[in-house]
Amino acid sequence: MAIRVVVQEEPFDFGAEAEGFAAGRTDMGAVVTFTGVVRDVSGTLATMEIEHYPGMTQKALEKIATEAEARWELGEVLVIHRYGRMGPGERIMMVATASKHRGHAFEAAEYLMDYLKSRAPFWKKESGAEGASWVAAKDEDEDALSRW
């Protein structure tokens, strides 16, 4: 079992990451990838700035990935999350899970996403025509944790 967690400012190469993930693991029958993209909800978004807590981010993500590993049969887990400034359509983050069976890979990816949204120390700030504002956490993001 291998966990890889990457926190970086620069863009990542989704194609290369997906291609290399669990490569050569002939015991894994299922790979799930999820990518989060900067969304322009109002049509006026210029940039999104993601702040994070450098000392805590890597540890928090590793903890979430380790918990996923304990719950499902996973061969590999990858989490990449960016911080800093990005524009609409840019990839913010990705997770990938590999398992013998797709059920485990799908569920583990959803679990990672649910926890990453409200337990990893990232904060989004949107800037556009109407000024800048911090993205508020949604109750449903917190509620999503209760299903696990």
Partner 1 sequence: MDLLYFAWVRERIGLPKERYETEAATVNDLIEELRGREERYALAFSDLSALRVALDQELSEFDAPLAGVREVAFFPPMTGG
Footprint of partner 1 (CB under 8 A): 36, 51, 53, 55-56, 59-60, 81, 92-93, 113, 116-125, 134-137, 142
Query: Based on CB atoms, which residue is closest to partner 1, 3 or 58?
Result: 58
Q: How would you list the strands of the sheet with 45-52, edge to edge?
A: 84-86, 45-52, 122-128, 131-134
Least separation, in Å, of the C-beta of 125 and partner 1? 7
Least separation, in Å, of the C-beta of 137 and partner 1? 4
Query: Based on CB atoms, which residue is closest to partner 1, 60 or 105?
Result: 60
Query: Based on CB atoms, which residue is closest to partner 1, 13 or 142?
Result: 142
Least separation, in Å, of the C-beta of 107 and partner 1? 17
- Residue 22: closest CA among 43, 38, 1, 50: 1
Quickly list DSSP for 48-70: EEEEE-HHHHHHHHHHHHHHHHH
